[in-house]
Structure 1
Amino acid sequence: MRCPFCAHDDSQVKDSRPTEDNTAIRRRRQCESCGARFTTFERVQLREITVLKSGDKREPFDRAKIEQSVDLACRKRGIAQERLDQLVSGVQRQIETLGESEVQARAIGEMVMEGLRRLDAVAYIRFASVYRDFTEARDFEEFAGTVRDVGKP
């Protein structure tokens, strides 16, 4: 594993343990060149998945994009990081169990919205405002008016 500090190619694993939701392995590493310590995560990937975006554009599935979107929607909401990780892992599992090598970006967005709907009303509306491209305050009002029983399992 390449060191993020000095870019040396070799590091030594000092500690390994599963994450709290058992979807990844957390590894503490130490660079053999500069001695810096850093953490990596190893996750199972069942198959290579391509995301079909609008305009026939294709790109490889990137879990980090979902993590970033969820983090942004949930910013300052006081939601435990563990719950956000579970949401992202759940969406990734749904995508992988579809059995398809290509998935519509729209379908991924809907999966994320459903997860956020059950997690937090404000995060759900925040994500929807970007995902559904709200352009006026009226768009927010209409969507918020449809939100009922959000955050309840």
Structure 2
Amino acid sequence: MRCPFCGHDDTQVKDSRPTEDNSAIRRRRSCPECGSRFTTFERVQIRDLVVIKKDGGRSPFDRDKVLKSLRIALRKRPVDDEQIERIVNGIHRRLESMGENEVPSKFIGELVMEVLMDLDKVAYVRYASVYRNFREAKDFEDFLGKMVVPRLD
């Protein structure tokens, strides 16, 4: 595998182990050319998923986009990276198990919203504000008004 730091073609695997949820193999690699170390993940890919965007365009599913959006929504929240990885793996598996090669972006967004609603309400609202394109404070107010939050009296 090519070194991401110097571009050398021949790196060495120093350690290899399954991830916590056994959905991937984590490999620590070292570059003999520049001495840098980096991590790669090997995952099973059942099918090539294509995302159908709002404008009708199509692009390959990119799990890293889901990962990045979750990390942004969960920034400074009590959720660790391992848990975020498991969430992304779960979403990816769910999409693959649908049996469809093409998935609307709206469906992916709703899956993420569903997971965040159960996991962390603050992250849920953060994600919703971008996903649903909130433009003003009233949008937040309307959205929060629709959330069912138990009252502590």
> For the superposition of Structure 1 and Structure 2, which TM-score range results when normalised by the shorter chain?
over 0.9
Task: Tell me the residue number matched to 1:126.
Answer: 126
Task: Tell me the residue number matched to 1:108.
Answer: 108
In structure 2, the gaps of 5 or more residues are none
Structure 2 residue 39 is the aligned partner of structure 1 residue 39: yes
Distance in 1 between the 2:86 and 2:102 partners? 23
Distance in 1 between the 2:145 and 2:82 partners? 29
Distance in 1 between the 2:112 and 2:144 partners? 17
Task: Tell me the residue number matched to 1:24.
Answer: 24
3-state DSSP of counterpart to 1:127: helix
8 Å contact from structure 1 (residues 121, 147) kept in 2: no
Structure 2 residue 56 is the aligned partner of structure 1 residue 52: no
3-state DSSP of counterpart to 1:115: helix
Equivalent AA in structure 2 for residue 64 of structure 1: D
Task: Tell me the residue number matched to 1:148.
Answer: 148
Q: Percent identity over the alignment?
A: 58
**Deviating more after overlay: 137-146 vs 59-68:** 137-146
8 Å contact from structure 1 (residues 17, 25) kept in 2: yes
Equivalent AA in structure 1 for residue 94 of structure 2: Q
3-state DSSP of counterpart to 2:55: helix
Q: Deviations over 1:74-127 (max 9, x none)?
A: 011121222211111111111100111110000000000001111000000100
C-alpha displacement of 1:4: 1.1
In the TM superposition, structure 1's runs of 4+ consecutive aligned residues that sit over 6 Å from their partners are none
Structure 2 residue 82 is the aligned partner of structure 1 residue 82: yes
3-state DSSP of counterpart to 1:56: coil
Equivalent AA in structure 2 for residue 52 of structure 1: I
User: RMSD value over aligned CA atoms?
Assistant: 1.3
Task: Tell me the residue number matched to 1:98.
Answer: 98
8 Å contact from structure 1 (residues 49, 60) kept in 2: yes
3-state DSSP of counterpart to 2:103: strand
8 Å contact from structure 1 (residues 116, 123) kept in 2: yes
Distance in 1 between the 2:119 and 2:72 partners? 14
Q: TM-score of the superposition, structure 1-length normalised?
A: 0.93
Aligned residues: 150
C-alpha displacement of 1:149: 5.0
